[in-house]
Amino acid sequence: MAIVSVGNTHTVSDSSGTTNYSAMAMVTTLFFIWGFCTVLNDALIPHLQSVFSLNYVEALLIQLAFFSSYFLFAQPSSKLIERFGYQRSMVIGLITMAVGALLFIPAAMTAVYGLFLGAQVVLAAGVTVLQVAANPYVTILGPPETASSRLNLTQAFNTLGDTVAPYIGSVLILGGVAEGAVRGNKLQGAALDASRVQQAASVKLPYMVLAGILIILALAIAIYKFPRVEVTRDFRPGGLGTERDSVWNHPHLYLGALAIFIYVGAEVSLGSVMGKFLADPSITGLPLVQAVKLVTFYWGGMMVGRFAGSALMQRMSPSNILVLCGFGAGAMVLCALLGTGHFAAVTILAVGLFNSIMFPTIFTLGVADLGTLTGRGSGLLVQGIVGGAAIPVLMGFFADRIGIHRSLFLPFLCYLFIIYYGWRGYRIKPNEAVEHIHAVS
């Protein structure tokens, strides 16, 4: 997913009113690369689960480590941009990601699970910096009236990275996992440690190549002559009124933050366990490598859905589309929960199509009519992404006790709340508007 800038800043461009396509092409590569890095975890999780004989809770600590970084580093990233500017912050984000990718090498050489988690935190910290810098920068590379269109286009490339990552990860990371796991289960002591090091070695090459690509991108961004922009503090009229208002006076905002927490948690949970779910004998019975390749269709559906949703929003209100997509996603999860075989496989993969518009739609509804509180509200919504850390671990808890199939009840409940938010939760109460007027008068 893509996030927007946090904090009380905005940008002013000296552009001539036309989109700088060269600069936009450079920044779009960043959207692709962080999408790829994020969803590569869908192949890494089942691999490490096999290498270290982890239960689902332990394996999904990968997502806890990754998505906690959004919560921890979102606000510091905005301060970094204020101090160093967009271009330097993008370079810092890419270098941080490269360091995180390189940390996977000693983690694989020693076969220590804790080192993999630490590498995830560093990698995700770089992703967070990159997101907070790149998203608002896209909006100032052309006319304000086409900013939304530019963001939708770049986010489509973000989803393209999501789409190809499971396939590439399954080829480079998951090869030979099943055989190695069988051998490893029969070993103990030093022999077991040696077997784990051998299996974990498949992680080194893809993350080494990834680090190289990130460093090359960092150099390209550093030497490219981006259009000059000015970063200013938000001194809009009435700005001081925020001291007498509060984000907690606006239920549509904090319910929106909860909706993002729940949505991101459901999306990440499904992507994380989908390979194992599809490989189950009662679903497809495919080898894990082949099952993870199918996860490509889950993320590919999100990419298709974003284009379709963008066109549909010109005819329907965002809240109604959110309700329809919530019903669609919930129905697909319920079918997968109650079904088996190829029917369950197809329906669980179809959830991605309905997920596509949820994050940007919830975000838009959450910050509606906040006025001078928009900056603070955006920060609260961004921090809701930490749901991608918490809910997958909770799903892993249920998967360990009632099985991965039955644990689908949790994302089903998540989509019920999304339906509620699109139906009632987004609505701005009349007294909110009155309170806001008094606050800024």
**All structural domains of the chain with their residue ranges:** 1-235, 238-441
CATH of domain 238-441: 1.20.1250.20
pLDDT tens digits for range 14-63 = 444 576 778 888 888 998 999 999 999 999 999 999 899 899 999 999 99
1-235 in CATH: which number? 1.20.1250.20
**What are the 10-residue block averages of pLDDT along the chain, 441 residues in total?**
46 54 86 92 91 92 92 84 86 96 95 95 93 75 64 77 90 66 57 83 93 96 78 36 66 92 96 94 93 93 82 81 95 97 97 90 81 71 88 96 96 97 87 49 35
pTM of the model: 0.80
Closest-CA residue to 244 (of 430, 8, 441): 441
The separation between the first and the last C-alpha atoms of the chain, rounded to the nearest angstrom, is: 37
pLDDT score, position 375: 62
Give 77's contacts (C-beta < 8 A, 6+ positions apart): 6, 89, 93, 128, 129, 131, 132, 133
pLDDT, residue 221, reads 93
Alpha-carbon distances, residue 39 vs 90, 108, 220, 433 (angstroms): 20, 19, 24, 40
Residue with tokens 């991605």: 352
Do 1-235 and 238-441 come out as alike in CATH topology? yes
| pLDDT at position 6 | 43
Does residue 383 contact residue 257 with C-beta atoms inside 8 Å?
A: yes
pLDDT of residue 159: 85
As a whole number of angstroms, the distance between CA 140 and CA 366 comes to 22
For 361-382, give the DSSP string. Answer: HHHHHHTTT-GGGHHHHHHHHH
